[in-house]
A = this chain, B = another copy of it.
Amino acid sequence: MIKVIALLKRRPGMSMEEFKRIWIEEHVQLSAQMPGLRGYRVNIALPTQQDDVPAPDYDGTAELWWDSREEMDASFKTEIAKTAGLDADRFSSVRQHLLTEEFVVVSGPASSPKPIVR
């Protein structure tokens, strides 16, 4: 299993509401079609952050899982991935990926009972 952490910054001048709306209501309908995708979560920054810990310079992150590095590489090379990448330009000006190995320390919370796509 491989887990991609994506870090996104919204386009200059875009409100957080618009950033969230496009990503959650529109973009995921494309990106969730990437072949082999085993899980996909999006995390949108809250308006108020902690005041005693530095906040990173991102407005949202995502987690995407594939069964293997090979499955992930093949998935990113498909037309739907390219289309989703172009679509992400509508709401984000910075996108970075960190490929990781995941360790579950405390299990839960369970997946949402009603995932947005499947």
Contact = CB atoms under 8 A, between A and B. Distances in A.
Contacts of A1: 109
A11 interface: no
Interface string A75-110: 010000000000000000001111111111111111
B95 A43 contact: no
Given A111-B107, A115-B107, A42 B102 contact: yes
A95 to B, nearest CB: 7
A98 B38 contact: no
Nearest to A76: B50
Nearest to A114: B104
Given A43-B100, A53-B95, A110-B111, 8 more contacts: A3-B43, A5-B56, A5-B61, A41-B104, A43-B98, A50-B99, A55-B97, A108-B111
